[in-house]
Amino acid sequence: MSERTGVLLRVVMFLVFGYISLRVLAMVLYPIFGLLIASIGGAFAGAAIANALAVRIYERAHLADIGLHWSAASARNLLFGIAGGAGAVAVVVLPALAFGFAYFDKTEGQGTGAGSILFLALVLVFGAVGEEMLFRGYGFQIMVPAFGEAATILPMGVLFASVHAGNPDVTGLALFNTFAWGVLLGWALLRSRDLWFPIGIHYGWNIALPLLGVNVSGFTMKLTDYSLRWRVSDWWSGGEYGLEGGLLCTLVLIVVIAFLHKAPVREQRLLLVEGRSRSQPVSSS
């Protein structure tokens, strides 16, 4: 069996672990908490189980070895990621507000308390971590040395977009933007050599949207009692799907590319990508 065939088999098994875990957990959570929590909770738990099993069975390593070791560099990369993700939202929304292309509309009776805000913010943390473990975790990382960066990033970007195909109000443009985000998050992992940088970007984007009253990938998450309304067409704004479904998101990806190129992240050691000896440490401070 060739090395590449062996890698593909391990990736398939990793995805099988993840799919089964996600489906079972989502089925348990859905009747109790509804679609949003079932989707996010199932994805997080499924991704953690799949990564833990695969990295232990095939690499004799630990879950943290997929880029989750914590250090001063990890904290720095996470914070830069959050700033970059939230900043990308601000680059779109703030000029739109300033020039009158969008405005805030108070939603009567829909205000949320501090407890609800903290709960949703925590839910979004689990969502970002779960999706990054699933799409930039074990399967992604073992493919890089075997197939190369481009041949890993592009198909994983397609897979990332495909799992959003069933989201409410999804469109073809939304799926293209999600694919592009998947590509950029894959690049972010390769820049920092940890999962904290892409987790930060993912979370920064996802938390900034509801804070500004914008839907996230088709889901409405009330963090304030205001919603952002647009005076431009859905093609630009994304409509009910949220910013990710519009051309404004497509354009802001150029800003994200520049950010990824210039962000002063600290490169760490990623066991599965670099193929280092298991006896060596896999994180740096």
Number of H helices, E strands in the chain: 11, 2
Residue 167 lies in a domain: yes
Alpha-carbon distance of 240 to 269, in angstroms, equals 41
The amino acid present at 223, given as its one-letter code, is L
Q: What's the Cα-to-Cα distance from 43 to each of 54, 132, 133, rounded to whole Å?
A: 16, 10, 9
> Which of the pair, 216 or 27, is modelled with greater confidence?
216
Question: How many domains are there within the chain?
Answer: 1
Q: Which DSSP symbol is given to 238?
A: -
Residue 20 lies in a domain: no
pLDDT at 283 over 50: no
Mean pLDDT of the chain: 88
Q: Which DSSP symbol is given to 275?
A: T
Residue 201 lies in a domain: yes
Residue 148 lies in a domain: yes
Residue 60 lies in a domain: no
The values of phi and psi at residue 184, to 5°, are -70, -35
Residue 227 lies in a domain: yes
The amino acid present at 61, given as its one-letter code, is A
Which residue(s) pair with 227 in the sheet?
A: 105
Which residue(s) pair with 228 in the sheet?
A: 104
Give the pLDDT band of residue 130 (cuts 50, 70, 90): very high
Helix axes of 114-136 and 172-192: crossing angle, nearest 10 degrees: 80
Give the pLDDT band of residue 282 (cuts 50, 70, 90): very low
Residue 160 lies in a domain: yes
Give the pLDDT band of residue 117 (cuts 50, 70, 90): confident
pLDDT per residue as tens digits for the range 76-111:
999 999 999 999 999 999 999 999 999 998 876 555
pLDDT at 1: 66
* Three-state secondary-structure class, residue 226: strand
The values of phi and psi at residue 107, to 5°, are -100, 100
Residue 280 lies in a domain: no
Alpha carbon distance, N-terminus to C-terminus of the chain = 39
pLDDT at 25: 80
| Domain coverage including residue 176 | 74-268
pLDDT per residue as tens digits for the range 36-50:
777 787 788 889 999
